[in-house]
């Protein structure tokens, strides 16, 4: 299979990730649920993962909260900071993981920066939204549909200047773009474990610049005689037994990213994207969505063909990619690709140039 759907989930993980899951499942029980060897091994694995994540994202271990995925983290962050009727500025490229919780909270949305691959426009629009009274800002580092890298450093600086809390969705950035809790000044940064961090599905991290409000209430292994959730992180936001096996795998994924280097991973993805774009742009039926600052995600449309049909034909040829709205209808509305959507190709460090060339041969044959 030529796997070009890493923006959803990276399929090929480093071998150590598979081994990490297996080793943890065999040797570890629950964190803080006993003083015995299996519980202490679990505590050590989970703590090691917090330390590793803290190193990669400039955070203290206590600021690293484990979640099920980025959506879970974003729900905690949004529910912690958003109140019904609050004015919330978001980019025109947010995922449903951001827009649906905001909608459910009854937030008044201010869409800032709808123009694709125009970061300077996004900065102006966020500034305008803040001037007009935005009380909270939620922004993705990078569009999951188009790979458009948003100017989150600048947007974060605008928020800090006005003392407005800032939530960062690093779903498409973690592992391939620099992400720093300390430098961003964000109240929260949410990310999945199963994409660019090469961890298993069902893992995620919420980096906490603020304490936050629990989404789930329950046992934490400590302070058990009191009925309120503990006031300290990470326990406050981590009710119930952890996904220790998943975290054991995520630990190895994080170690891989740190050893390999975020910059080198980005370079590799950019090389693959360049090869893809060079060949695809020469095919007259294909419309590419390309920008100067783009992650390893590329959207395209084929003239006269439904994107789902294109993805299905590619799947029959052994190519895994994703078509449709990618759970981000707002991004398609902004870019003018709604309601049909696009075909999305997304690469990871696990892809090779050979695979890309094979994919291009298939495209030339069937498109």
Partner 1 sequence: MYVYYYTFRSMTAAMTAAGKLKNRGINLRPIRSPEPLRKRGCGFCIRIPEAQFSPSVQESLRGLYEKRYGYGNGEWREFSL
Interacting residues with partner 1 (CB under 8 A): 31-32, 34-35, 40, 43-44, 47, 50-51, 61-62, 220-226, 230, 232-235
Decide whether 1 or 216 has the Cβ nearer to partner 1: 216
| Min separation Cβ 43 and partner 1, Å | 6
| Min separation Cβ 51 and partner 1, Å | 7
Residues in the chain: 367
| Min separation Cβ 35 and partner 1, Å | 4
| Min separation Cβ 244 and partner 1, Å | 13
Decide whether 235 or 349 has the Cβ nearer to partner 1: 235
Decide whether 32 or 73 has the Cβ nearer to partner 1: 32
| Min separation Cβ 67 and partner 1, Å | 15
Decide whether 44 or 293 has the Cβ nearer to partner 1: 44
∠ CA 245-249-255, nearest 5°, is 145
| Min separation Cβ 37 and partner 1, Å | 10
Q: Which are the contacts of 212, defined by CB distance < 8 A and separation ≥ 6?
A: 65, 76, 77, 80, 188, 206, 233, 236, 237
Q: How far apart are CA 270 and CA 48, in angstroms?
A: 31
Q: Are 197 and 253 a contacting pair, CB within 8 Å?
A: yes
| Min separation Cβ 228 and partner 1, Å | 10
| Min separation Cβ 187 and partner 1, Å | 20
Decide whether 31 or 330 has the Cβ nearer to partner 1: 31
Listed residue (354, 334, 345) closest to 99, CA to CA: 334
Decide whether 49 or 257 has the Cβ nearer to partner 1: 49
Decide whether 119 or 234 has the Cβ nearer to partner 1: 234
**Other CB atoms within 10 Å distance of the CB of residue 75:** 22
| Min separation Cβ 185 and partner 1, Å | 23
Decide whether 175 or 248 has the Cβ nearer to partner 1: 248
Cα–Cα distances in angstroms (integers) from residue 1 to residues 4, 118, 154, 319, 361, in the given order: 9, 35, 40, 6, 14
Decide whether 62 or 293 has the Cβ nearer to partner 1: 62
């Amino acid at each position: 299979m030529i796997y070009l759907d890493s923006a959803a989930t990276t399929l090929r993980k480093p071998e150590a990730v598979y081994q990490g899951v297996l080793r943890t499942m065999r040797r570890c029980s629950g964190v803080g649920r006993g003083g015995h060897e299996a519980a202490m091994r679990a505590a050590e694995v989970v703590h090691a993962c917090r330390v590793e994540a803290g190193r990669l994202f400039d955070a203290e271990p206590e600021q690293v909260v484990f979640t099920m995925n980025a959506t879970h983290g974003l729900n905690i962050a949004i529910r912690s900071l958003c109140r019904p009727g609050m004015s919330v500025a978001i980019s025109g490229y947010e995922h449903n993981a951001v827009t649906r919780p905001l909608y459910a909270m009854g937030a008044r949305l201010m869409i800032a920066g709808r123009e694709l691959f125009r970061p300077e426009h996004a900065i102006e629009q966020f500034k305008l939204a803040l001037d007009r009274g935005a009380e909270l800002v939620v922004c993705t580092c990078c569009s999951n549909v188009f790979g458009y890298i948003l100017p989150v450093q600048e947007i974060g600086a605008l928020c800090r200047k006005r003392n407005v809390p800032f939530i960062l969705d690093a779903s498409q950035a973690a592992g391939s773009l620099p992400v720093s809790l300390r430098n961003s000044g964000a109240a929260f940064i949410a990310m999945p474990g199963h994409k660019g961090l090469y961890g298993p599905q069902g893992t995620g991290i919420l980096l906490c610049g603020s304490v936050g409000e629990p989404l789930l209430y329950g046992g934490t292994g400590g302070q058990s005689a009191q009925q309120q959730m503990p006031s300290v992180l990470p326990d406050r936001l981590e009710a119930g037994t952890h996904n220790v096996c998943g975290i054991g795998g995520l630990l190895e994924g994080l170690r891989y990213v740190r050893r390999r280097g975020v910059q080198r991973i980005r370079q590799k993805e950019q090389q693959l994207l360049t090869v893809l774009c060079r060949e695809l742009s020469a095919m007259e039926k294909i419309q590419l969505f390309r920008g100067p600052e783009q992650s390893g995600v590329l959207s395209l449309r084929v003239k006269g063909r439904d994107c789902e049909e294109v993805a299905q034909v590619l799947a029959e040829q052994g190519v895994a990619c994703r078509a449709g709205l990618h759970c981000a209808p707002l991004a398609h509305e902004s870019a003018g690709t709604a309601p049909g959507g696009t075909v999305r190709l997304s690469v990871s460090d696990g892809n090779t140039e050979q695979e890309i060339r094979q994919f291009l041969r298939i495209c030339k044959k069937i498109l």
